[in-house]
Amino acid sequence: MAARAMANFALAELRLVNPRDGWPNPDAGPAAAGADAVLGGARVAQSANEALADCALTFATTVRHRDSSTPVVTPREAAARMREGAARGLRSGILFGPERAGLTADDLAGIQTIVTCPVDPGFGSLNLAQAVLLLAYEWFQAGPVEPPRHAVPAPPATHGEIAALIAHLDGELDAAGFFHVPDRAPATRRTLAALLARPGFTSEEVRTLRGVVRALADLRRRRAQPPSGAIV
């Protein structure tokens, strides 16, 4: 049903993160009613990070607003941002949650923008295919926008570059004993991921930040060893 929703609105790139029943899944065919091209071209990824790696703009859908610093927009606003990105040659990815459980806080931590559809607060239970339909619909209705005429800022980093920065920092912080209270480590990791995903760093800025992490880690390692030639 999600593939069918996509096909109605000219979206073809479906990526599946760890599909529960494996892939290809023969049960997916009949429900899609002609969306075979979308299903046939679906790619399987091992993680949300892998699925989003080449995207410069990342969105994730949640039904209810969660307590986080990640900005929240409506489907219509998300569609406008994706079209503006497309006019600058930037790829967008929308992460949808599994049917019942939804996305976890960890899934959402590295995402730039949350998309929440305004629904009747007394009901509010859009399923996966309905959420895909509404996002695809808004994307199609928004239509292509003109490329910007003024000077374009440097290209933003892709999700993969940001994810690699987060993993690099995480590894060095772990080695430095930063996560020494095990109970707090998951929340701290989410805070760091959200903090690095948000500002829309450029590729260049991400490279600079990775240099900063490397330099600090090297400094720590040098300090941990006795300086060569020192009198102990």
Q: Minimum distance between the CB of residue 8 and its own copies, rounded to whole angstroms?
A: 5
- Report whether 5 contacts 133 (CB < 8 A): yes
130 part of the interface to its own copies, by CB under 8 A: yes
67 part of the interface to its own copies, by CB under 8 A: no
Query: From CA 163, how far away is CA 96, in angstroms rounded?
Result: 18
Contacts (Cβ under 8 Å, ≥6 apart) of 63: 102, 116, 117, 119, 124, 125, 126
Nearer to its own copies, 76 or 189 (CB): 76
Contact window for its own copies (CB under 8 A) among 15-23, 30-38, 51-59, 167-175: 30-38
- Report whether 32 contacts 38 (CB < 8 A): yes
**Span 89-108, contacts to its own copies by CB under 8 A:** none
Nearer to its own copies, 35 or 57 (CB): 35
Task: Please give the structure tokens belonging to residue 176.
Answer: 């430095």
230 part of the interface to its own copies, by CB under 8 A: no
Torsion, Cα 181 186 192 194, to 10 degrees, reads -160
35 part of the interface to its own copies, by CB under 8 A: yes
Judged by CB under 8 A, the residue of 51, 133, 196, 206 near its own copies is 133
Angle of CA points 46, 72, 167, to nearest 5°? 35
81 part of the interface to its own copies, by CB under 8 A: no
Q: Minimum distance between the CB of residue 54 and its own copies, rounded to whole angstroms?
A: 23
What's the sign of the alpha-carbon dihedral 177, 182, 187, 190?
A: positive
**Span 1-20, contacts to its own copies by CB under 8 A:** 4-5, 7-10
34 part of the interface to its own copies, by CB under 8 A: yes
178 part of the interface to its own copies, by CB under 8 A: no
80 part of the interface to its own copies, by CB under 8 A: no
In 93-125, which positions are buried (b, 16+ CB within 10 angstroms) versus exposed (e)?
Answer: bbbbbeeeebbeeebbbbbbbbbbbeeeeeeee
Please give the residue ranges that form the binding site for its own copies (CB under 8 A): 4-5, 7-10, 33-35, 74, 76, 117-120, 122-127, 130, 133-134, 137, 140-141
